[in-house]
Amino acid sequence: MAVLRPARPVPTPSMQTGAAGPGRATGFRRVRSHWPQYLAISPFYLLFSVFGLFPALFSLYLAFHRWDGLGEMQFVGLKNFQYLLGDGTFWLALRNTFIIWFLSTVPMLFVALAIAAMLNSTVRFTAFYRIAYFIPNITSLVAMAIFFGAVFSTNFGLVNVVLQAVHLPAVHWLTNPLGMKIVVATVTTWQWTGYNTIIYLAGLQAIPSEVYEAAKVDGAGPIQTFVRITIPLLRPIILFTVVVSTITGMQTFTEPQVLFGNNGTLTANTGGAGHGALTMVLYFYHQAFDNHDFGYGAAIAWAVFLVVMVFAAINWRLVQRRET
Amino acid sequence: MELSRRRAIHLGMLGTVGAMIGGTAACSTSTSGGSGGGTNSIDFWYWQDGLSEKVVDDAVKRFTSVSLKPQQIGGDFRQKLTTTMASGAFVPGITGIKGEDFASFTPQADRFVNLLDHGADKLAGQYLSWKWKKGMTKDGKLIGFPIDIGPTAHFYRRDIFAKAGLPTDPDKVGAQMSTWDDYFAAGVELKKAVPTAHMVSEAWSVYNVAVSAAPARYIDENEHFIGDQDHIHTAWNYAIKAIRLGLDAKVQSGSTDWNAGLANGSLPSQTGAAWGAADIQSGAKNTSGNWGVALSPGGSGNIGGSFLAITKECSKPDVAFEIISWILSPENQARGFTDSALFPSTPATYAMPALTAPDPFFGGQVTIQVLGQAAQKIPVQYESPNDQAVSAPYQNELTNVESNGKDPDAAWADAITEAKKIGQRLGVS
Amino acid sequence: MRANRFRGLGPHLVLLVGVAISVFPFYWMIVMATNTTSDIYRYPPKLTIGGELATNLSHVFEKIHFFAAMGNTIVVAVSTTVLVLFFDSLAAFTFAKFDFPGKRILFALLIGIFMLPAQLSLIPQFITMVKLGWAGQLQALIVPAAANAFGIFWMRQYITGAVPDDLLDAARLDGCGFFRQYWHVALPTIRPGLAFLGIYTFIAAWNDYVWPLIVLVNPDQLTLQVALSQLNRSYNQDYSMIMAAALLAVAPLVIMFVLVARNFIADAVKGAVRG
């Protein structure tokens, strides 16, 4: 957890807290003198301790038990975790999650940044573009699943029609393991690119125009300005999108569930043919809510937590390092 | 040392969290949340088309000694029921339980009312015996009252079969393709005559139907794993044979390719549960009149079909039993068939006009003649609470063979290893 | 003048291709909602808007109390959004611009909470709500969502860059305390950031499904998504009806977005001067 430091040293914080004199008062007085700050952050932590802490502890407790959700809990010690280490399906799900994350997050963030930069520099129709790019976020999931199921279908899908038109072989997108991951990544990218665009745009709008004026005076071209000025000033926002995409990407659940979850024949929530689109959280959901194995589900969830934490910390470090 | 530490952690957790959970799980009757719907009302949960809505409305008007409050629950029904029962509050007095979930509720039989205590045994004769037994626990309590069933059948395109020189009359189709081997032989003929047509849309539709007709499933009544035995291996081999003969179109049911295949004749044969007919009808409306229904190859089985249950929280279990037995009487099951396409679990219903009308989609065939016959031939299979979990590897390995060209023998061995491993964790020996 | 107009055309072409890709599935949702289910299954599929919308919607209104559910959803989404905007921005302002003992640990905890899969807490959360006597009531949706880690993290990152330190220094020299610095200095400068958080929160509250399905035990008080889920059947779905309902359900979101988009535009006008 210690690695989760702020992206950059908070600028001149000590001088803002005038009450805490240079003499460094005792711990309690220092704490007390900051009461407005504690009050300001307290709602979240209060809500968390009422609505978040109990579920978290409960799930930890569950991870050491066998429980079907209704009957008596049975203590099994570390058995769930032992099983997890040898569970090939979990490791497959871990691998799938990383592949899908990579295939979706990398293009998504780059495209979003490019669109945001273009939107920021155009004057006309900006409201129209913003609304249009945000539409995927409010498109019904069911519509999305049917639509992309049709686009990627083997015999009649648009993608294969195009492939065959340029004399490439058709791909079984919905049953081939890599194809399935590409489909999930495509849908994720489609749905969340506009959202990240809006985030970047909000960040770009906060950059004062004088900064650009100055660059113009110095004779910097548009690309140079973007790389040398825009990107560094946007760093807190980029860090935000990278960390959030990492956390949410590692928890990818909805897209594979909707696309490959219930096709009528296969067992629900197993990620389609050959577990090709089975992600970690989908596997957790399957164990808990389809197999009614809440203890093992909780163990998986904590493993997901661990993976997310380590990976988010690595990404945080990577983005942060470039800065210095 | 290690043990005592673990124990200490365990006890510590029990002290903090466990007390809260224990409190809720055990004291379900003490919560004031209106369990079962208060003193004179009965909350009644089911899902859209799980029962005929009209019959349910009539039940509300008919049973006025209580206030019956029906509620259609959308989404994941089992998840909502489990969560609510775990909390012990707002538990419905009467609830539907989906067929695929039923086995997982049997270990919690003591949270449901034993319907035999309320005179259910007098009604047993009206229901299909295998379905009746499915609603029972191992020690003979009846907790699930039969709603519908899903007898398997063979749906086929008469016009395409005619083109391939295959029989088109339901009886003749059923007779010529009574075994899977005969069915595949007809598939080879079909492919010769109509090269674009595949007899089997996906290997799973062979495997699943074959397992449903087997005398047992993956786990026996003593919770022993039997998924490596002949009855499963045979079903597996049929599916593999379909792939090997090139009869398998590798198209998942419900997909765009599947719907297109039904409509354009490249998928002229479907094996599956009776309720699948609705999917065929909506997927291939333009082929109305060209379909037929025959007995399934390899014998009849059952896929799906639900139950009604009364929870211990129910304030008036006697009235509740009257209500459910009225809703699911042979007469009302006919209405369930008409309103919501629920295939009746009461053989007397099969002779009623609602079911004996010729079906124009199936070329005017009286489908109940075939399906009713199938319904009575279904074997009694024991379904363990862990059946679903253990069956997942077979399905996964079968798709590995089908879409990734994995060696069938290796896939079979891997499926068994994995199924045994899962079973062991869940207490299957 | 002329050259200028052409120079601007390139980005617009690229942007329009993006728009087409983004909007097409939504358009197709409209196509599905205005045709019949069998039109959807036809091959090649129908791609033009049909005339069945009224029929489809009338089926929806027969089956569910659509507008009552929408009223509940508006209550939940509006109150959640207002609370989140206030609590999150205040906490974020504190994390971004002030130092106090335990800050790093508290912030790390905040991010850590974000990493636990949400589905994990369904059962214990429901137990909590039953104990509080909130099961079946709208506050069971509003209160737990009134402040969240995501929003605090976002606003903290945004405020770090968007609120200049010298502005706060100046305010303090004028005698502004902590809360007045927040209200008079920070809030006015972070409107685009708040606009995003507002939209995000509103949409999330509007579309929230799994938790409301579990906790809203009273059938007379449902949110839109829970009510919509009752249109689903286990087989033989009437997709046209479902899409008509879904379309009507997202209409308020589109209107809301159009209204809030102005908050972004305020700054874009400033940008016009620079272009």
- Model confidence over A7-39: pLDDT tens digits? 333 443 333 443 334 445 566 777 788 888 999
- Does A198 have pLDDT greater than 80? yes
pLDDT value at position A324? 42
**Sequence-separated (6 or more) residues with CB below 8 Å from residue A184:** A100, A104, A252, A255, A256, A259, A260, A277
- Model confidence over B206-258: pLDDT tens digits? 999 999 999 999 999 999 999 999 999 999 999 999 999 999 999 888 787 88
> Is C202 an 8 Å CB contact of chain A?
no
Instruction: Pick B426 or B149 by higher pLDDT.
Output: B149
- Does B342 have pLDDT greater than 60? yes
Mutate to test the interface with B, among A53, A54, A61 (most CBs of B within 10 A): A61
> Is B336 an 8 Å CB contact of chain C?
no
- Does C37 have pLDDT greater than 70? yes
Q: Choose among B80, B105, B102: nearest CA to B92.
A: B80
Can you spell out the DSSP letters for B269-322?
EEEEETTHHHHHHHH-GGGTTSEEEEEPTT---B----EEEEBTT-S-HHHHHH
pLDDT value at position B211? 96
Chain A contact set for B404 (CB, 8 A): 176-177, 274
Q: Does A194 sit within 8 Å of C193, measured CB to CB?
A: no
Q: Does A43 sit within 8 Å of C147, measured CB to CB?
A: yes
Q: Choose among A31, C34, A306, C126: nearest CA to B21.
A: C126
Name the residue in chain B with its Cα closest to that of C128. Answer: B87
- Does A317 have pLDDT greater than 50? yes
User: CA geometry: angle at C184 spanning C181 and C188, to 5°?
Assistant: 120
Chain B contact set for A176 (CB, 8 A): 403-404
Chain A contact set for B76 (CB, 8 A): 289
Q: What's the average model confidence in pLDDT over B79-96?
A: 88
Q: Does A138 sit within 8 Å of C160, measured CB to CB?
A: no
Chains that touch B (3 or more CB pairs under 8 A): A, C
Chain C contact set for B265 (CB, 8 A): none
Q: Does B260 sit within 8 Å of A290, measured CB to CB?
A: no
> Is A255 an 8 Å CB contact of chain B?
no
Tokens matching residue C50: 């049909």
Name the residue in chain C with its Cα closest to that of B255. Answer: C41
**Whole-angstrom distance, CA of residue A185 vs CA of residue A133:** 18
Mutate to test the interface with A, among B200, B425, B428 (most CBs of A within 10 A): B425
Q: Å from C113 to nearest chain B CA? A: 19
Q: Choose among A10, B89, A54: nearest CA to C160.
A: A10
Q: What residue ranges in B58-192 does DSSP mark as E strands?
A: 67-72, 94-97, 145-146, 152-157
Q: How many contacts (CB atoms, under 8 Å) link A and C?
A: 296
- Model confidence over A262-311: pLDDT tens digits? 555 556 778 888 889 999 999 998 888 888 888 999 999 999 999 998 98
* Candidate from A102-111, B6-15, B90-99, B305-314 with smallest mean pLDDT: B6-15
Chain A contact set for C235 (CB, 8 A): 264
Name the residue in chain B with its Cα closest to that of C233. Answer: B48
Chain A contact set for B251 (CB, 8 A): 154-155
Mutate to test the interface with B, among A291, A293, A294 (most CBs of B within 10 A): A291
Which B residues, 82 through 111, put their C-beta within 8 Å of a C-beta on chain A? Answer: 82-83, 85-86, 104-105, 107-108, 111
Chain C contact set for A247 (CB, 8 A): 114-115
Chain A contact set for C114 (CB, 8 A): 247
**Sequence-separated (6 or more) residues with CB below 8 Å from residue A29:** none
pLDDT value at position A263? 52
Name the residue in chain B with its Cα closest to that of C219. Answer: B71
Point out the residue among C143, C262, C264 whose CB comes nearest to the CB of A201. C264
Q: Does C228 sit within 8 Å of B74, measured CB to CB?
A: yes
pLDDT value at position C266? 44
Q: Largest alpha-carbon pair distance within chain C? A: 72
Mean pLDDT of chain A: 83
Chain B contact set for C124 (CB, 8 A): 21
In order of their start, the domains of chain B are 5-149+304-356 (3.40.190.10), 152-302+382-425 (3.40.190.10)
**Whole-angstrom distance, CA of residue C238 vs CA of residue C241:** 6
Which B residues, 321 through 360, put their C-beta within 8 Å of a C-beta on chain A? Answer: none
Name the residue in chain A with its Cα closest to that of C162. Answer: A206
Contact A206, C162 (CB under 8 A): yes
Contact C84, C146 (CB under 8 A): yes
> Is C240 an 8 Å CB contact of chain A?
no
Contact A173, A287 (CB under 8 A): no
Point out the residue among A17, A58, A247 whose CB comes nearest to the CB of C99. A17
Point out the residue among B50, B74, B82 whose CB comes nearest to the CB of C229. B74
Q: Å from B364 to nearest chain C CA? A: 21
Q: Does C172 sit within 8 Å of A59, measured CB to CB?
A: no
- Model confidence over A39-70: pLDDT tens digits? 999 999 999 888 888 888 888 999 999 988 88
Q: Which residue type, as a one-letter code, is found at position C188?
A: P
Chain C contact set for A217 (CB, 8 A): none
- Model confidence over C221-256: pLDDT tens digits? 889 988 888 887 656 677 888 889 989 998 888 888
> Is B392 an 8 Å CB contact of chain A?
yes
Q: Does C264 sit within 8 Å of A205, measured CB to CB?
A: yes
Q: Choose among B146, B145, B139, B147: nearest CA to B107.
A: B139
Q: Å from B76 to nearest chain A CA? A: 9
Mean pLDDT of chain B: 88
- Model confidence over C68-118: pLDDT tens digits? 999 999 999 999 999 999 999 999 999 999 999 999 999 988 888 888 777
**Sequence-separated (6 or more) residues with CB below 8 Å from residue A181:** A96, A99, A100, A103, A276, A277
- Does A200 have pLDDT greater than 70? yes
Q: Does the predicted interface ipTM exceed a cut of 0.85? A: no
pLDDT value at position B34? 46
Contact B248, B202 (CB under 8 A): yes
> Is C162 an 8 Å CB contact of chain A?
yes
Chains that touch A (3 or more CB pairs under 8 A): B, C
Mean pLDDT of chain C: 84
Q: Å from C132 to nearest chain A CA? A: 11
- Model confidence over B40-61: pLDDT tens digits? 899 999 998 899 999 999 999 9
pLDDT value at position B22? 36
Confidence of residue B4 (pLDDT cuts 50, 70, 90): very low
pTM: predicted TM-score of the whole model, two decimal places: 0.85
Which B residues, 366 through 405, put their C-beta within 8 Å of a C-beta on chain C? Answer: none
Tokens matching residue A22: 């240079």
In order of their start, the domains of chain C are 1-63+234-254 (no CATH), 65-224 (1.10.3720.10)
> Is C174 an 8 Å CB contact of chain A?
no
Contact B222, B423 (CB under 8 A): no
Q: Does C99 sit within 8 Å of A129, measured CB to CB?
A: no
- Does C150 have pLDDT greater than 50? yes
Q: What's the average model confidence in pLDDT over A105-112?
A: 94
- Does C27 have pLDDT greater than 50? yes
Q: Å from A307 to nearest chain B CA? A: 23
